[in-house]
């Protein structure tokens, strides 16, 4: 699945699912722009891992929910790499596990702005560059939360639901311009955010305890970031020339112990 000559921008691309996606796209030949908000160390480490593979990568700081920062980042990436023809809207934050009654309104706004506003801003800003290419790809990293809508996580549920609404509308708008827009919706995945979500819903306290859920999960293990990255790699590849406006739920067919 060669992505040689293509340029990918991965928001939140320095760690967790974003890191796996960044490295996977680089392995397939894409140059990768790695966005981070605060964790510069992880972003730099992911850049170094790609460079060690012989790939091209650079880190860019921006808070995705701030339009002006997104605009400056997109301009910088295009100046450095010449274009952006793959965007992965991966940046996200978790809810704190409170009921609607007990959720701070500021938390609701912060979570929704990150997932929904940030993805809208980023998608809008890359469209001109993508329209100038033979093909463009936008992949939204959502969650099973947008289909299960569990309790004690309404800000996260709301943010992911809005992100998916954006994807479905954008897919219809941009199909005539050769731009594919799709959604990947992970189940519980072994990342720092996955640990926080598990703690909020199940009382799990550590990475080690998260792996203790393996025997209760489909195929005998908690989903790994690389398994999410593989779905993204397919969607942006030449093996996916006729796929747009689709949602791939990567959760092993449904967690055996209930949705997260």
- Cα angle at 181 between 177 and 186, to 5 degrees? 170
Is 67 catalytic? The answer is no
CB within 8 Å of 42: residues ≥ 6 apart? 14, 15, 19, 36
- The single residue of 60, 156, 234, 242 carrying the catalytic annotation is 156
Which two structure tokens, joined as six digits, stand for 260?
Answer: 């997260």
Rounded Cα distance between 229 and 148, Å, is 22
Q: 182, 247 in Cβ contact below 8 A? A: yes
Output the CA torsion 138→65→91→250 (10° steps). Answer: -60
Rounded Cα distance between 257 and 260, Å, is 9
HSE (side-chain half, CA atoms, 13 Å) at 132 = 9
| CA distance readout (Å), 205 to 64, 193, 197 | 29, 12, 10
* Three-class secondary structure of residue 132 per DSSP: coil
Rounded Cα distance between 63 and 199, Å, is 25
Catalytic machinery residues: 156
């Amino acid at each position: 699945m060669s992505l040689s000559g293509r340029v990918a921008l991965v928001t939140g691309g320095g760690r967790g699912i974003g890191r796996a996606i960044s490295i996977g796209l680089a392995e397939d030949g894409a140059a990768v722009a790695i966005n981070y908000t605060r964790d510069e160390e992880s972003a730099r480490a992911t850049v170094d891992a790609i460079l060690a593979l012989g790939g091209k990568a650079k880190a860019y700081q921006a808070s995705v929910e701030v339009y002006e920062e997104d605009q400056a980042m997109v301009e910088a990436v295009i100046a450095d790499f010449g274009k952006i023809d793959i965007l992965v809207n991966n940046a996200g934050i978790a809810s704190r596990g409170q009921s609607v009654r007990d959720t701070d309104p500021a938390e609701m706004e912060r979570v929704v702005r990150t997932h929904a506003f940030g993805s809208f801003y980023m998608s809008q800003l890359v469209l001109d560059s993508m329209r100038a290419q033979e093909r463009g790809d936008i992949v939204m990293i959502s969650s099973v939360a947008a289909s299960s809508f569990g309790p004690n996580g309404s800000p996260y549920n709301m943010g992911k639901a809005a992100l998916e609404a954006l994807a479905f509308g954008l897919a219809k708008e941009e199909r005539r311009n050769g731009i594919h827009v799709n959604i990947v919706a992970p189940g519980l995945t072994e990342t720092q955010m996955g640990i926080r979500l598990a703690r909020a819903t199940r009382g799990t306290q550590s990475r080690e305890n998260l792996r203790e859920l393996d025997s209760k999960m489909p195929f005998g293990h908690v989903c790994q970031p690389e398994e999410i990255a593989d779905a993204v790699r397919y969607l942006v590849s030449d093996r996916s020339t006729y796929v747009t406006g689709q949602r791939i739920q990567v959760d092993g067919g449904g967690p055996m112990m209930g949705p997260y």
